[in-house]
Amino acid sequence: MVNTSIKTTKSQEIFAAAQNLMPGGVSSPVRAFKSVGGQPIVFDRVKGAYIWDVDGNQYIDYVGTWGPAICGHAHPEVIAALQAALEKGTSFGAPCALENVLAEMVIAAVPSIEMVRFVNSGTEACMAVLRLIRAFTKREKVIKFEGCYHGHADMFLVKAGSGVATLGLPDSPGVPKSVTSNTLTAPYNDLSAVKALFEANPDEIAGVILEPVVGNAGFITPDTGFLQGLRELTKEHGALLVFDEVMTGFRIAYGGAQEKFGVTPDLTTLGKIIGGGLPVGAYGGRQDIMSMVAPAGPMYQAGTLSGNPLAMTAGIKTLELLQKPGTYEYLDKITKQLADGLLVIAKETGNEACGGQISAMFGMFFAPGPVHNYEDAKKADANKFGRFHRGMLERGVYLAPSQFEAGFTSFAHTEADIEKTLQAAREVMSSL
Ligand code: KE4
């Protein structure tokens, strides 16, 4: 099915050609629109809260390149800083002062981080932090939660979220059982299941890793006491607590979900926003743990482009912009207007829906709800979500192309953009 009411000739041509060049015509699976149907639009340029596709159609963007564009796409101050940095080269492969600057900002912002290592993606950060917790505890098992996504490293592709959930991939082929046998899973928000895993695997569990607010099974918030309960259980059993804040870091609050909920893990992974749109990931935490990382310690992890001056520059400028007073209050206000508005419209148009928002992250399921975990999320009407997604796209609103993703706002979004989005939602939901 192709967009009926907007011209997408060039998108179709380019995407058709891409099919013969790259698997599925994309560089990352979720972009292929498999779960929402139809063909993806091909982007030409982005600015602020908007996208223009190669056919000249404009959209209000609620994906924000999956999170990094919290200041709006191509923010003039980020672009200017990058232009200046470019004059000095693109990559050094050697220490540079910019790494110190971004490291100091991250350490100052994130409660759990006393020392940090930069990498090039969230996947790398999560891979490295898993190796680190195993090295530090000398244990091999790890607990993750169904529907949570921590990048595509082998040991995490067990009941993962995001594109794995979107495509209904079981544990991906190519992942050896020997690798996933040490990955234990529990339903999100289920402390008793975690307690049972610890009791069944005494002194074997290196740590627990989770999205403190889930964005990869759709938007799912932690039940009251869940995060604190995990903090206590991990301490009790000599295991480490890892918050994967690749998505929530600097989005839920400047100090991430750990600041918002007042629960401090032992280690944190970051990505997306700290790169300001360039490839960056990071992991960090207690100094006694991080000092195990080579060359300070024996745990090996490396990367050609880690800490490169362009990515550091974009991250530094982005965090500087986020420090402006009132930023998070504004993000919370407009995102609440959007999320609440969508639920009111769903109710008024006879569509069962649930969802909500925290700061600049939101989500909605076509389900009566509440959605506490991945099993609940899978009960949502994904086909209806696909029709909703297509209808919104045809009205100039670009939502994440999967029920198993979250939505993101930026401080470039205006109240007029929110109103226009809600108007489109009313039209579409009236015809679902
Ligand atoms: P990357 O390797 O994609 O930079 O980060 C992996 C990752 C780790 N942890 C969390 C909580 C994440 O959300 C992600 C990546 N998020 C997806 C969107 N749900 C990236 C989009 C994509 O895969 O194309």
Between the CA of 402 and the centroid of ligand 1 the distance, in Å, is 14
Q: Which amino acid is at 83?
A: Q
Cα gap 42→100, rounded to integer Å: 37
Looking up tokens 């595509």 gives: 152
Please state whether 344 falls in left (phi above 0), alpha (psi between -120 and 50) or beta: alpha
Q: Mind telling me the catalytic residues?
A: 149, 244, 272
- Is the pTM higher than 0.95? The answer reads yes
CATH of region 76-322, choose from 3.30.70.2860, 3.40.50.510, 3.40.50.2300, 3.40.640.10:
3.40.640.10
What's residue 337's pLDDT? 98
What's residue 167's pLDDT? 62
Contact assessment for residue 276 and residue 249, using Cβ atoms and an 8 Å cutoff:
no
Decide whether any atom of ligand 1 lies within 6 Å of the 215 Cβ. yes
What's residue 164's pLDDT? 77
Query: Helices (DSSP H) in 112-255: which residue ranges?
Result: 122-137, 162-166, 177-180, 191-200, 226-236
Whose alpha carbon is nearest atom 21 of ligand 1?
66
Please state whether 381 falls in left (phi above 0), alpha (psi between -120 and 50) or beta: beta
Decide whether any atom of ligand 1 lies within 6 Å of the 126 Cβ. yes
Whose alpha carbon is nearest atom 8 of ligand 1?
150
- DSSP structural state of residue 246: T
Between the CA of 216 and the centroid of ligand 1 the distance, in Å, is 8
Decide whether any atom of ligand 1 lies within 6 Å of the 391 Cβ. no
Decide whether any atom of ligand 1 lies within 6 Å of the 121 Cβ. yes
What's residue 43's pLDDT? 98
Between the CA of 430 and the centroid of ligand 1 the distance, in Å, is 33
If the chain, 432 residues long, is cut into consecutive pieces of 10 residues, what is the mean pLDDT of each piece?
71 97 97 92 98 98 98 98 98 98 98 98 98 98 96 91 69 85 95 97 98 98 98 98 98 98 98 98 98 98 98 98 98 98 98 98 97 97 96 97 97 98 98 93
Looking up tokens 């009236």 gives: 430
Ligand 1 atom closest to the CA of 30, numbered from 1? 24
Decide whether any atom of ligand 1 lies within 6 Å of the 123 Cβ. yes
Contact assessment for residue 255 and residue 110, using Cβ atoms and an 8 Å cutoff:
yes
Decide whether any atom of ligand 1 lies within 6 Å of the 146 Cβ. no
The domain locations on the chain are 76-322
Residues 6 or more apart whose CB falls under 8 angstroms from that of 22 comprise none
Q: What share of the chain is helix, strand, coil (3-state, %, to 5)?
A: 40, 15, 45
What's residue 2's pLDDT? 42
Between the CA of 218 and the centroid of ligand 1 the distance, in Å, is 13
What's residue 350's pLDDT? 98
